[in-house]
């Protein structure tokens, strides 16, 4: 089959998912058929049969229902999501599966108990006015070197630690304290609901791997992850405080490697750990200390249980704080006050004055 | 004094009440008097109480194992005892017979001090009086306990299962271990030395076919929160000796809660437990907790042979744990097969290697 271009009828009716949020209006001119997809390519797909994902998160933030016959843009490629579907980039156009509500598609290789994935047919690859295939890697703006800001990493000890809740609470607390706050998630995959939660909590911007031109962080080594982190930090220039949400859990090899990178310690002023139980909080704290990172507090799912919090306090030198407390500027400033970083960072004076 | 033995008996007061599983060692014939008035209850005292308002616990497990539905006005016979349950409540025995809470479905009366955010208010109860003997002395579970025993000369093999927290998968690990040991021909008993009285786990071990199944209630405790570690060491010895008397050559002992719990940590660090423990299995909720547990148990000088638990329900967590730990991680399939333990038993003790 040879490559040819097909003009897409009713191109404006194609649903644009969250993962294609950097696509400029009118960027898709036609679709190429008779081509093989590569990782990160944007494809035009038709829904064949609804399965697990019966909706798509649109770039606008609206969650749209899907029905068989609907046409949408997706990004094909390798995705690893332990609690969702994992997939590989399809070798050819044709049948594949929708693997995330953010708009990732591929050939499912594992994951997700229960419902089978929503089935798609890839009709063609999206091309621009020059006939070049649109790829996620080409959509992202030029990278800038990260500017100075107060940077706090929110690291989860394990899945289910409520790190998103902790990050949202810190976002709220910092923005209430007068900071312009950005949130970056350099690991994992795009999750529109999570990004909007940070924006709703007061973040001026929330970025993830998609903003570094990637579908997912799977397979990246510590150096690559650090490069993604740098890109995302650069994209958040102009913010006075940046929260780095490190998703996936401290037990994961890539996360352990990232945390242990001196470059990571060089970019981060302090860490807030999200944990679900006392023992993993204590082990997480040990590993954060080993990496030479200051641990500001432990928070997360553990705070549902006063007894578990007490157990954690017995084994930790840092405060154990309910996520709600992190959303309060006075509690937050008390937390940051002992650290020189609060003074050094842009806006730190304001934070300290609230504490006084 | 509020002592009116005849009236209490004639009214059939006790016979009409639901007797909780936690008080199973006390025969109904021992309930002679109702001791109302100002009194100071202690852990192990039996109390006749009335349900005031239903909350979290809407059923009470009876001596038979049946779960009786409760309603406002239902009368129950339960034991006073402290509760330590990070996923549910902390509750302490109050200093009076005033209104308090039903803090465990197995039948425990105490006053809630703090609660997990996932829990509703506990079921509220009004004590009507302590239950006494003919002389008007309050009954205590300790008087109906197995007699204290020393460890027999032929000590059975003792497998201790402990975990990273409440609901980390200890009971499932115990169950599968017992299955594996029984399948290999060992005469296996199961017991639970610490925790809060509940029939669920005991019935499960019985259903699996354990030779005998005992818990701290058999050593005279309604629950073990607040019990001095020296007493728990004695209970550990008594329960194992009782299992041996029943013919067991292998005993699987579960220790409740996580390593951060005071009595759990105290008992695991005790010389008594260390001396009599053949092997330890650790159930963890997640891989980091497993790593912390491995370090803790090795520091305590305990022979840890395997790690399992809730985390092994997720293949990624299992893989992560295998990278983090020096101890074998038994996945769900291996546990289900019940046979994975046998290879470990025959091999050298993992815990004794550096």
What tens digit of pLDDT does each residue of A84-96 get?
A: 788 999 999 999 9
Question: Do A27 and A91 fall within a single domain?
Answer: yes
A288 inside 8 A of chain B by CB: no
Question: Do A47 and A189 fall within a single domain?
Answer: no
Q: Do B85 and A307 touch (CB under 8 A)?
A: yes
Residue B300 lies in a domain: yes
Q: Do A306 and B114 touch (CB under 8 A)?
A: yes
Question: Do B52 and B94 fall within a single domain?
Answer: yes
User: Does the pLDDT of residue B296 top 70, yes or no?
Assistant: yes
Q: Do B288 and A279 touch (CB under 8 A)?
A: yes
H-run or E-run covering A287:
helix A278-290
H-run or E-run covering A94:
strand A94-98
Looking at B113, B144, B175, which one is the last position of a domain?
B144
CA distance B334 to B342: 11
Q: Do B285 and A252 touch (CB under 8 A)?
A: no
Question: Do B167 and B80 fall within a single domain?
Answer: no
Please give the residue of chain A at the shortest CA–CA distance from B165.
A277
CB atoms within 10 A of CB B314: 20
- Over residues B83-115, the pLDDT tens digits come to 999 999 999 999 999 999 999 999 999 999 999
Instruction: Print the domain residue range for B107.
Output: 5-144
Token pair for B151? 């460890």
- Over residues A282-306, the pLDDT tens digits come to 999 999 999 999 999 999 999 999 9
User: Does the pLDDT of residue A158 top 90, yes or no?
Assistant: yes
Min Cα separation B343/chain A (Å) = 27
**How is the beta sheet containing A270-274 ordered, strand by strand?**
A205-208, A181-185, A241-246, A150-156, A270-274, A295-299
- Looking at residue B4, what is its pLDDT? 56
Q: Do A279 and B316 touch (CB under 8 A)?
A: no
- List B71's β-bridge partners, or say none: none
- Looking at residue A355, what is its pLDDT? 41
CA distance A243 to A153: 6
Phi/psi at A158 (5° precision): -160, 165
Looking at A109, A139, A169, which one is the last position of a domain?
A139
Residue B71 lies in a domain: yes
- Looking at residue A143, what is its pLDDT? 81
What is the average per-residue pLDDT within A267-290?
Answer: 96
Question: Do A21 and A65 fall within a single domain?
Answer: yes
- Over residues B146-198, the pLDDT tens digits come to 999 999 988 999 999 999 999 999 999 999 899 888 988 899 999 999 999 88
Question: Do A268 and A337 fall within a single domain?
Answer: yes
Q: Do A279 and B86 touch (CB under 8 A)?
A: no
Residue B249 lies in a domain: yes
Residue B152 lies in a domain: no
A308 inside 8 A of chain B by CB: yes
- Looking at residue A5, what is its pLDDT? 84
Instruction: Print the domain residue range for A281.
Output: 150-355
CA distances from B111 to A320, B93, B100, B115 (A): 25, 6, 5, 11
Residue A77 lies in a domain: yes
What residues of chain B lie within 8 A of the CB of A279, using their CB?
A: 164-165, 258-260, 284-285, 288-289, 292-293
Please give the residue of chain B at the shortest CA–CA distance from A277.
B165
CA distance B79 to B151: 29
Around B265, how many Cα atoms within 13 Å sit in the side-chain half-sphere? 14
- Over residues B325-335, the pLDDT tens digits come to 999 999 866 76
Token pair for A26? 């009118």
What residues of chain B lie within 8 A of the CB of A286, using their CB?
A: 292
Question: Do A155 and A135 fall within a single domain?
Answer: no
> What's the pLDDT band for B5 if we cut at 50, 70, 90?
low
- Whichever domain contains B189, its CATH number is 3.40.50.300
CA distance B320 to A287: 15
Report the percentage of chain B scoring pLDDT > 70.
91
What residues of chain A lie within 8 A of the CB of B310, using their CB?
A: none
Report the percentage of chain A scoring pLDDT > 70.
92
The more confidently predicted of residues A333 and A22 is A22
- Looking at residue B64, what is its pLDDT? 94
State the total domains in chain B: 2
Min Cα separation B54/chain A (Å) = 22
> What's the pLDDT band for B27 if we cut at 50, 70, 90?
very high
- Looking at residue B351, what is its pLDDT? 37
The more confidently predicted of residues A11 and A269 is A269
> What's the pLDDT band for B7 if we cut at 50, 70, 90?
low
Looking at A139, A173, A189, which one is the last position of a domain?
A139
Residue B330 lies in a domain: yes
Least confident of A190-194, A271-275, B311-315: B311-315
User: Does the pLDDT of residue A343 top 70, yes or no?
Assistant: no
- E strand map for A148-239: 150-156, 181-185, 205-208
Please give the residue of chain A at the shortest CA–CA distance from B285.
A277
Residue A144 lies in a domain: no
The chain B residues in contact with chain A (CB within 8 A) are 84-87, 90, 114-118, 164-165, 168, 258-261, 284-289, 291-293, 295, 311, 314, 316-317, 320-321, 323-324
Please give the residue of chain B at the shortest CA–CA distance from A159.
B286
> What's the pLDDT band for B354 if we cut at 50, 70, 90?
very low
User: Does the pLDDT of residue A115 top 90, yes or no?
Assistant: no
CA distance B354 to B350: 9
Sort A313 into a burial class: Cβ within 10 Å, 0-12 / 13-18 / 19+: middle
Least confident of A282-286, A350-354, B207-211: A350-354
Token pair for A261? 């990178």
User: Does the pLDDT of residue B11 top 70, yes or no?
Assistant: no
CB B101 within 8 A of CB B109: yes
Min Cα separation A305/chain B (Å) = 4
Nearest Cα neighbor of B74 from B2, B36, B19 is B19
Question: Do A195 and A324 fall within a single domain?
Answer: yes
What residues of chain B lie within 8 A of the CB of A315, using their CB?
A: 260
What is the average per-residue pLDDT within B18-25?
Answer: 97
A312 inside 8 A of chain B by CB: yes
What is the average per-residue pLDDT within B117-124?
Answer: 96
Q: Do B292 and A283 touch (CB under 8 A)?
A: yes
> What's the pLDDT band for A333 if we cut at 50, 70, 90?
confident
From the list A276, A306, A314, the residue facing B285 with the nearest CB is A276
Residue B151 lies in a domain: no
The more confidently predicted of residues A146 and B296 is B296
- Is B337 strand, coil or helix? helix
Please give the residue of chain B at the shortest CA–CA distance from A158.
B286
From the list B115, B116, B288, the residue facing A250 with the nearest CB is B288
State the total domains in chain A: 2
Min Cα separation A312/chain B (Å) = 8
What residues of chain B lie within 8 A of the CB of A252, using their CB?
A: 316, 320
- Whichever domain contains A269, its CATH number is 3.40.50.300
Q: Do A279 and B84 touch (CB under 8 A)?
A: no
Give me the sign of the Cα torsion angle B46, B51, B57, B58.
positive
Least confident of A148-152, B18-22, B141-145: A148-152
From the list A276, A304, A315, the residue facing B260 with the nearest CB is A315
What residues 157-176 of chain A have any CB closer than 8 A to a CB of chain B?
157-160
pLDDT, chain B, mean: 91
Please give the residue of chain A at the shortest CA–CA distance from B257.
A308
What is the average per-residue pLDDT within B260-279?
Answer: 96
CA distance A84 to A66: 18
pLDDT, chain A, mean: 90
What is the average per-residue pLDDT within A183-205?
Answer: 96
H-run or E-run covering B104:
strand B100-104
- Looking at residue B343, what is its pLDDT? 57
Question: How many H-runs (helices) and E-runs (strands) does chain B carry?
Answer: 10, 17
Question: Do B194 and B135 fall within a single domain?
Answer: no
Q: Do B289 and A159 touch (CB under 8 A)?
A: no
Q: Do A251 and B258 touch (CB under 8 A)?
A: no
Q: Do A280 and B292 touch (CB under 8 A)?
A: yes
- Looking at residue A49, what is its pLDDT? 97
> What's the pLDDT band for B353 if we cut at 50, 70, 90?
very low
Please give the residue of chain B at the shortest CA–CA distance from A280.
B289
User: Does the pLDDT of residue A349 top 70, yes or no?
Assistant: no
């Amino acid at each position: 089959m040879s490559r040819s271009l097909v003009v897409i009828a009713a191109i404006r009716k194609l649903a644009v998912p969250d993962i294609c949020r950097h696509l400029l209006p009118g960027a898709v001119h036609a679709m190429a058929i008779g081509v093989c997809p590569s990782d990160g390519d944007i494809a035009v797909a038709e829904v064949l049969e609804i399965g697990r994902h019966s909706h798509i998160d649109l770039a606008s933030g609206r969650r749209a229902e899907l029905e068989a016959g609907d046409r949408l843009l997706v990004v094909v490629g390798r995705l690893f999501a332990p609690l969702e579907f994992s997939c590989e980039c399809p070798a050819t156009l044709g049948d594949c599966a929708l693997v995330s509500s953010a708009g990732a598609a591929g050939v499912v290789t594992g994951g997700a108990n229960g419902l089978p994935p929503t089935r798609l047919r890839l009709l063609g690859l999206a091309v621009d006015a020059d006939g070049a295939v649109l790829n996620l890697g080409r959509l992202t703006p030029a990278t800038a070197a990260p500017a100075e800001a107060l940077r706090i990493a929110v690291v989860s000890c394990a899945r289910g630690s409520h790190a998103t809740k902790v990050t949202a609470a810190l976002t709220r607390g910092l923005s209430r304290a007068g900071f312009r706050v950005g949130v970056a998630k350099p690991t994992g995959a795009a999750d529109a609901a999570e990004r909007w939660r940070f924006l709703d909590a007061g973040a001026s911007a929330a970025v993830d791997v998609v903003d570094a031109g990637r579908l997912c962080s799977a397979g990246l080594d510590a150096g690559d992850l650090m490069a993604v982190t740098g890109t995302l930090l650069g994209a958040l220039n102009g913010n006075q405080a940046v929260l780095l949400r490190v998703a996936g859990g401290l037990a994961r090899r890539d996360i352990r490697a990232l945390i242990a990178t001196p470059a990571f310690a060089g970019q981060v002023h302090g860490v807030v750990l999200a944990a679900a139980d006392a023992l993993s909080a204590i082990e997480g704290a040990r590993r954060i200390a080993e990496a030479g990172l200051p641990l500001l507090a432990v928070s997360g799912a553990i705070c549902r249980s006063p007894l578990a919090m007490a157990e954690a306090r017995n084994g930790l030198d840092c405060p154990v704080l309910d996520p709600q407390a992190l959303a309060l500027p006075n509690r937050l400033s008390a937390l940051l006050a002992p650290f020189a970083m609060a003074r050094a960072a842009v806006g730190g004076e304001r934070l300290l004055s609230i504490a006084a | 004094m509020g002592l009116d033995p005849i009236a209490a008996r004639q009214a059939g007061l006790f016979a009409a009440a639901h007797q909780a599983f936690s008080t199973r060692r006390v025969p109904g014939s021992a309930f002679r008097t109702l001791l109302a008035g100002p009194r100071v209850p202690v852990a192990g005292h039996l109390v006749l109480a009335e349900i005031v308002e239903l909350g979290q616990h809407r059923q009470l497990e009876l001596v038979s194992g049946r779960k009786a539905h409760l309603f406002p006005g239902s009368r129950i016979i339960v034991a006073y005892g402290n509760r330590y349950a990070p996923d549910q409540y902390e509750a302490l025995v109050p200093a009076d017979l005033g209104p308090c809470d039903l803090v465990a479905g197995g039948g425990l009366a105490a006053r809630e001090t703090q609660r997990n955010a996932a829990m509703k208010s506990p079921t509220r109860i009004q004590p009507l009086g302590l239950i006494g003997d003919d002389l008007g002395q309050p009954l205590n579970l300790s008087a109906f306990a197995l007699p204290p025993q020393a460890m027999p000369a032929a000590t059975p093999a003792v497998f201790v299962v402990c975990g990273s927290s409440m609901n980390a998968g200890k009971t499932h690990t115990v169950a599968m271990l017992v299955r594996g040991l029984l399948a290999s021909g060992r005469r296996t008993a199961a017991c639970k030395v610490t925790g809060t009285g509940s029939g669920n786990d005991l019935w499960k071990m019985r259903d699996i076919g354990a030779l005998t199944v005992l818990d701290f209630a058999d050593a005279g405790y309604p629950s073990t929160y607040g019990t001095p570690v020296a007493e728990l060491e004695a209970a550990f010895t008594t329960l194992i000796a009782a299992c041996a008397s029943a013919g067991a050559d292998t005993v699987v002992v579960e220790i409740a809660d996580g390593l951060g719990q005071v009595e759990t940590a105290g008992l695991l660090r005790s010389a008594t437990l260390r001396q009599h423990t053949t092997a330890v299995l650790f159930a963890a909720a997640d891989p980091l907790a497993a790593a912390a547990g491995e370090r803790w148990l090795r520091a305590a000088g305990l022979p840890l042979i395997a790690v399992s638990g809730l985390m092994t329900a997720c293949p990624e967590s299992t893989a992560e744990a295998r990278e983090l730990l020096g101890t074998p991680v038994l996945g769900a399939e291996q546990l289900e097969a019940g046979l994975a333990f046998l290879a470990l038993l025959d091999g050298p003790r993992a815990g004794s290697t550096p």
